[in-house]
């Protein structure tokens, strides 16, 4: 089992990004996944089994800012599908998880600076909260298990309903 889970964000839009920032995002997300996958594939092909799980992001699914990060994660989703199609015949499953906002130490640092940071974020999610690390871990354990033996090439949003629609829009339009 290989889990590719890397990312960084410089938080800038295309007009303000440097080429170095763009390259760094793609090196950390796409190139690292490519290099790690390439390293394990010969062993998986020989064994005729294996699982590669790429941790992408909801940012890679639709436009919500963080331009370089989002583009790199979208590329990772495409790489997931291509590898699933190419290596399925070798018994190798390749899937992705796209987390929404997950409470990690980085978010805890931000929370220390801004105690209300989650108030607005929670309103984005159908379940009314940001995710916990365990939410992603549980999905990853399933996708890497034999219980998911007929699942390949999928992207599983673990996002509290964010990609299902806009809670805030429904409420603003009087439908909530």
Active site residues per annotation: 69, 73
Cα–Cα distance list, 41 to 44, 45, 91, 129 (Å): 5, 6, 11, 38
Residue 24, helix vs strand vs coil: helix
C-alpha to C-alpha distance for 45 and 23, rounded to whole angstroms: 30
Are the beta carbons of 100 and 162 closer than 8 angstroms? yes
Q: Which of 165, 172, 175, 176 is nearest to 61 (CA)?
A: 165
**Which phi and psi (to 5°) does residue 63 adopt?**
-75, 105
C-alpha to C-alpha distance for 72 and 8, rounded to whole angstroms: 10
DSSP 8-state class, residue 103: E
């Amino acid at each position: 089992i290989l889990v590719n889970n890397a990312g960084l964000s410089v938080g800038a839009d295309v007009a303000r990004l440097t080429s170095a920032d763009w390259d760094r995002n793609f090196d950390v997300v796409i190139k690292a996944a490519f290099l790690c996958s390439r390293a394990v594939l010969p062993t998986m092909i020989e064994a005729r089994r294996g699982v590669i799980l790429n941790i992408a992001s909801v940012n890679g699914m639709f436009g919500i800012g963080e331009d370089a990060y989002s583009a790199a994660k979208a590329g990772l989703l495409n790489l997931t599908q291509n590898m699933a199609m190419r290596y399925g015949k070798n018994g190798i499953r390749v899937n992705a998880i796209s987390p929404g906002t997950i409470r990690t130490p980085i978010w805890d640092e931000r929370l220390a600076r801004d105690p209300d940071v989650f108030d607005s974020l929670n309103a984005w999610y159908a379940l009314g909260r940001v995710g916990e690390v365990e939410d992603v871990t549980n999905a990853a354990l399933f996708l890497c298990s034999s219980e998911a033996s007929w699942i390949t090439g999928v992207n599983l949003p673990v996002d509290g309903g964010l990609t299902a629609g806009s809670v805030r829009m429904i409420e603003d339009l009087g439908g909530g």
